[in-house]
Amino acid sequence: MNVDDNSLSQGDELMLTPSTSFDEISLILKNPDGTSKEVKFKQGDQLVYKNESGDTLTATGASATKDGESVEVIMSLFRVIKGMQIADSGPMMVAGDGKAYPLSSVAQIKE
Protein backbone atom coordinates (compact mmCIF):
# COMPACT_ATOMS: atom_id res chain seq x y z
CA MET A 1 0.00 0.00 0.00
CA ASN A 2 1.25 3.49 -0.81
CA VAL A 3 1.02 5.82 2.19
CA ASP A 4 2.35 9.21 3.20
CA ASP A 5 4.99 8.02 5.67
CA ASN A 6 8.76 7.65 5.88
CA SER A 7 9.20 4.46 7.99
CA LEU A 8 10.35 1.35 6.13
CA SER A 9 9.89 -2.07 7.73
CA GLN A 10 11.33 -5.23 6.26
CA GLY A 11 10.05 -5.72 2.69
CA ASP A 12 8.80 -2.14 2.26
CA GLU A 13 9.82 -0.33 -0.94
CA LEU A 14 10.58 3.33 -1.51
CA MET A 15 10.17 4.48 -5.11
CA LEU A 16 12.07 7.59 -6.22
CA THR A 17 10.72 9.79 -9.01
CA PRO A 18 12.92 12.68 -10.18
CA SER A 19 11.16 15.65 -11.80
CA THR A 20 13.49 15.52 -14.82
CA SER A 21 16.61 13.71 -16.01
CA PHE A 22 19.40 13.37 -13.45
CA ASP A 23 23.01 12.29 -13.03
CA GLU A 24 22.70 10.93 -9.48
CA ILE A 25 20.14 10.53 -6.69
CA SER A 26 21.14 10.29 -3.02
CA LEU A 27 18.73 8.69 -0.57
CA ILE A 28 19.41 9.19 3.14
CA LEU A 29 18.16 6.52 5.55
CA LYS A 30 18.32 6.66 9.34
CA ASN A 31 19.00 3.45 11.27
CA PRO A 32 17.29 2.69 14.61
CA ASP A 33 20.56 3.52 16.43
CA GLY A 34 20.46 7.07 15.02
CA THR A 35 23.22 6.63 12.46
CA SER A 36 22.52 7.43 8.82
CA LYS A 37 23.44 5.74 5.59
CA GLU A 38 23.39 7.05 2.05
CA VAL A 39 22.26 5.03 -0.96
CA LYS A 40 23.17 6.38 -4.39
CA PHE A 41 21.38 5.77 -7.69
CA LYS A 42 22.82 6.54 -11.12
CA GLN A 43 21.01 7.13 -14.42
CA GLY A 44 19.77 3.73 -15.63
CA ASP A 45 19.44 2.21 -12.12
CA GLN A 46 16.09 0.95 -10.92
CA LEU A 47 14.88 3.78 -8.68
CA VAL A 48 13.52 1.58 -5.90
CA TYR A 49 15.01 0.95 -2.47
CA LYS A 50 13.74 -2.20 -0.73
CA ASN A 51 14.38 -2.59 2.99
CA GLU A 52 15.75 -6.10 3.29
CA SER A 53 17.01 -5.66 6.85
CA GLY A 54 15.01 -6.61 9.91
CA ASP A 55 15.28 -3.04 11.22
CA THR A 56 12.77 -0.27 10.63
CA LEU A 57 14.54 2.52 8.73
CA THR A 58 13.47 6.14 8.34
CA ALA A 59 13.82 7.85 4.96
CA THR A 60 14.98 11.34 5.88
CA GLY A 61 15.32 12.70 2.35
CA ALA A 62 16.29 12.25 -1.26
CA SER A 63 18.06 14.68 -3.55
CA ALA A 64 19.20 14.57 -7.15
CA THR A 65 21.52 16.55 -9.37
CA LYS A 66 21.90 17.11 -13.10
CA ASP A 67 25.06 18.87 -14.26
CA GLY A 68 25.57 20.19 -10.73
CA GLU A 69 22.04 21.62 -10.48
CA SER A 70 19.44 20.39 -7.99
CA VAL A 71 16.57 18.22 -9.25
CA GLU A 72 13.40 17.57 -7.22
CA VAL A 73 12.77 13.95 -6.17
CA ILE A 74 9.42 12.58 -5.01
CA MET A 75 9.50 9.61 -2.61
CA SER A 76 6.59 7.14 -2.67
CA LEU A 77 6.52 4.56 0.11
CA PHE A 78 4.89 1.19 -0.46
CA ARG A 79 4.43 -0.74 2.79
CA VAL A 80 3.87 -4.47 3.06
CA ILE A 81 0.42 -5.20 4.46
CA LYS A 82 0.54 -7.76 7.29
CA GLY A 83 -3.14 -7.62 8.18
CA MET A 84 -6.26 -5.61 8.77
CA GLN A 85 -8.02 -4.57 11.94
CA ILE A 86 -11.30 -2.90 12.73
CA ALA A 87 -11.08 0.23 14.86
CA ASP A 88 -13.82 2.54 16.11
CA SER A 89 -13.02 4.78 13.13
CA GLY A 90 -13.34 1.89 10.64
CA PRO A 91 -11.07 -0.63 8.86
CA MET A 92 -7.31 -0.18 9.23
CA MET A 93 -4.47 -1.74 7.22
CA VAL A 94 -1.55 -2.93 9.37
CA ALA A 95 2.07 -2.67 8.18
CA GLY A 96 4.95 -4.97 9.11
CA ASP A 97 5.98 -2.88 12.12
CA GLY A 98 2.41 -2.91 13.48
CA LYS A 99 1.59 0.65 12.46
CA ALA A 100 -2.06 0.89 11.36
CA TYR A 101 -3.34 3.14 8.57
CA PRO A 102 -6.97 4.10 7.91
CA LEU A 103 -8.14 3.16 4.43
CA SER A 104 -8.51 6.86 3.62
CA SER A 105 -4.72 7.32 3.91
CA VAL A 106 -3.88 4.60 1.37
CA ALA A 107 -3.12 6.25 -1.98
CA GLN A 108 -2.44 3.10 -4.01
CA ILE A 109 -2.07 -0.67 -3.66
CA LYS A 110 0.39 -2.59 -5.82
CA GLU A 111 1.12 -6.28 -6.12
Domain residue spans of the chain: 2-80
Residue 4 confidence (pLDDT): 81
- Please tell us whether the domain made up of 2-80 is placed in CATH 2.40.128: no
- C-alpha distances in angstroms, 73 versus 61, 85, 103, 110? 9, 33, 26, 21
Burial 58-91 (b: 16+ CB within 10 A, else e): ebeebebeeeeeebebeebbbbbeeeeeeeeeee
Q: Are 27 and 62 in contact (CB under 8 A)?
A: yes
Lowest mean per-residue pLDDT among 32-41, 61-70, 85-94: 85-94
Average pLDDT over residues 77-104: 90
CA distance 55 to 5: 16
Q: How many CA atoms within 13 Å lie on the side-chain side of 2? A: 11
Residue 110 has pLDDT above 80, yes or no: no
Q: What percent of the chain has pLDDT over 70?
A: 99
CB contact set of 42 (below 8 Å; sequence gap of 6+):
23, 24
Task: Return the percentage of the chain with pLDDT > 90, whole number.
Answer: 71
Please tell me the predicted confidence (pLDDT) of residue 21.
Answer: 94
pLDDT at 62 (0 to 100): 96
